[in-house]
Amino acid sequence: MKRLISLLALSFLLLAPLAAQSLLTPEQLAKRERHKNLTVKEWNTDEKTKTRWLDRIKVYDDQGRCVEEIEYATYGQKWRVTSKYDDVTGKVVEEVEYNDRNRPVRIRKYEWNADGTKAKQYNYLPNGKLYSVKVYEYIFSDK
């Protein structure tokens, strides 16, 4: 009996990432495959002066998930967001938003429903104090 329970637990651990992956469409899986270990830089150019500046950077991990996004202005960084993902579900579980001085201004933590939709978003101050909770409600109509 113990062996059966151990085998079931091992099967769950091995199959859980596959089940989470199955929630993604083939297009999403293909997009992730293309983004593995990728850094994308977006540049703007002023038409009159031909001055070029960095607009945005997106950094993807070895699984094709966006782990950092930075928005720039002509004077430098406007904001930056880093993301952490759950190893089992592949869903984002935490985002940290930084200001133009690269200091944390907001921390968001997420809970997800079994069907892959967002359940809750917890918003924290940089000191770790919870200041708001957003609850997602999904209503389908028969129109």
Task: Determine, yes or no, domain membership for 48.
Answer: yes
Q: Phi first, then psi: give them for residue 100, nearest 5 degrees.
A: -70, -15
Task: Determine, yes or no, domain membership for 14.
Answer: no
- Where in the sequence is the domain holding 80, given as residue range(s)? 25-135
pTM: 0.74
Task: Determine, yes or no, domain membership for 5.
Answer: no
Give the closest residue to 126 by CA, choosing from 102, 87, 86, 96. 96
At 111 the pLDDT is 96
Task: Determine, yes or no, domain membership for 95.
Answer: yes
At 35 the pLDDT is 82
Task: Determine, yes or no, domain membership for 128.
Answer: yes
Task: Determine, yes or no, domain membership for 16.
Answer: no
Dist CA 70 CA 58 (whole Å): 7
CA-CA distances (angstroms) from residue 47 to 44, 50, 51, 52? 9, 5, 8, 9
Q: How many domains does the chain have?
A: 1
What CATH number is attached to the domain comprising 88?
A: 2.40.128
Task: Determine, yes or no, domain membership for 113.
Answer: yes
Give, for all 143 residues of the chain, the pLDDT tens digit: 445 444 444 444 444 444 444 467 888 778 778 888 899 999 998 899 988 889 999 999 999 999 999 999 878 999 999 999 998 888 999 999 999 999 999 999 999 999 889 999 999 999 999 999 999 999 988 87
